[in-house]
Amino acid sequence: MSAAGPKTGTSTLGTMTSSDIAPEGVRPRPVVDNLPKYAAGKPPAVIEGLTSYKLSSNENPLPPLPAVLEAIADQSDINRYPDPLATKLRNALADFLGVPADDVVTGAGSLGALNQILAAFAGQNADGKADEVIYAWRSFEAYPICVGLAGAESVRIPLMPDGRHDLEAMAAAVTVRTKVILLCTPNNPTGPILTAEETERFIQSVPSGVVVVIDEAYQEFVRDPEAVDGLQLYRKYPNVVVLRTFSKAHGLAGLRVGYSVAGHDITQYLRVAATPFAVSQIAERAAVTSLGHFDEVIERVQGLVDERERVVAGLRELGWFVPEAQGNFVWLNLGEHSAGFAELAGERALSVRAFANEGVRVSIGEVEANTRFLELCAGYTNPPRPL
């Protein structure tokens, strides 16, 4: 070693500027620029003399059950991480649904559970080619965002004129690159369900290596006796995954707790892809308590279903086309009039969800809110039409 000491490598970091490092500024992956932005429902405007109502986010207008609020009121262990497997909730769901606890994987809402599925089964491969994910369109607006961020390619199949999935076209779209198919039932935002018969026929028509996700976020609101029950199909077909949530019927949207149900062939990979600690202690206790009072949950849900039927009947009495509504919302196919209708609703202290030049989704809310919505429609001169 020389008297001058050890040699050091020459570094240019000290003289580099931000323009040398990133001449065009910080940029995301190219796919991010091409993705739509999720647009959450906006709160209602404050109009003097009117109670404002939010009908834009498919939320349950009722708070959680009193037993749930009492159960979480004194929870103070939030300085600790929650159980990463949400064992109490999975065991409660196992008893409630009649499935093995190991078949349940929890997530931050059904959307979090969906992201885990996509992370495990759909993305970009070593050869640079992206997997394909098929879904109906329009459907849940987060689908293209989630698929794109996973690195996969969306294959959107247009809905039929009555707002239902075109399952024949979806089956015909399957290729060797298809890894996941998303079935939203009832379809958000249009409202119709998939029947048990057509869904099973569809599953039988696609390769058994394709994961078929049955998204049942609004399952508790369904009253059509022909509707598919995803759990029945999961028991028969190893490639079926069922998505459900506590956000809607249970009124726990702000706590972000949902789950998927699938067999071991799928859950072994979902646990690898799962976000650690996604369900908090508070969310887990709230969900377990709500399940324990499910009769009260369903009583509340039935009140919303009754209101949904009143709203649909009122719209059809006006001669309006309304797709079969089986969720907690109705769809108005208003096309280029969508933004204008939403503006009129806002002037009446009602926030609704307009989808560009496609249509308007209106959540079922409080009785007064639903009545005010019907009154607005009675004086509106550009009624919706079939898709």
Q: Per-residue pLDDT tens for 117-138?
A: 999 999 999 999 999 999 999 9
pLDDT at residue 21 in the model: 53
Binned at pLDDT 50, 70 and 90, residue 2 comes out as: very low
Task: Give the structural domain span for 331.
Answer: 34-58+295-378
The sign of the torsion formed by the CA atoms of 110, 139, 170, 222 equals positive
pLDDT at residue 8 in the model: 47
Question: Do 89 and 208 lie in a common domain?
Answer: yes
Question: Do 234 and 359 lie in a common domain?
Answer: no
Q: Is residue 218 part of a domain?
A: yes
Please compute the mean of the pLDDT values over residues 278-292 and round it to a whole number.
Answer: 98
Per the model's pLDDT, the better-predicted residue between 4 and 106 turns out to be 106
**Are 286 and 292 in contact, with CB atoms under 8 Å apart?**
no
In the predicted structure, residue 363 carries a pLDDT above the cut 60 = yes
In the predicted structure, residue 9 carries a pLDDT above the cut 70 = no
Question: Do 344 and 276 lie in a common domain?
Answer: no
Q: Is residue 149 part of a domain?
A: yes
Supply angle C-alpha 64, 68, 73, rounded to 5. 110
Q: Is residue 107 part of a domain?
A: yes
pLDDT at residue 213 in the model: 98
Q: Is residue 120 part of a domain?
A: yes
User: Residue 261's domain is classified under what CATH number?
Assistant: 3.40.640.10
Supply angle C-alpha 277, 281, 286, rounded to 5. 125
Residue type, 229: D
Question: Do 270 and 343 lie in a common domain?
Answer: no
Per the model's pLDDT, the better-predicted residue between 273 and 27 turns out to be 273
Which tens digits make up the pLDDT trace of 103-112? 999 999 999 9
Please compute the mean of the pLDDT values over residues 344-362 and round it to a whole number.
Answer: 97
Mean pLDDT, all residues of the chain: 93
Last residue of a domain, one of 292, 324, 347: 292
Residue type, 314: G
**Are 133 and 157 in contact, with CB atoms under 8 Å apart?**
no
Question: Do 99 and 245 lie in a common domain?
Answer: yes
Q: Is residue 385 part of a domain?
A: no
> Of 190, 84, 88, 77, which Cα lies nearest the Cα of 138?
190
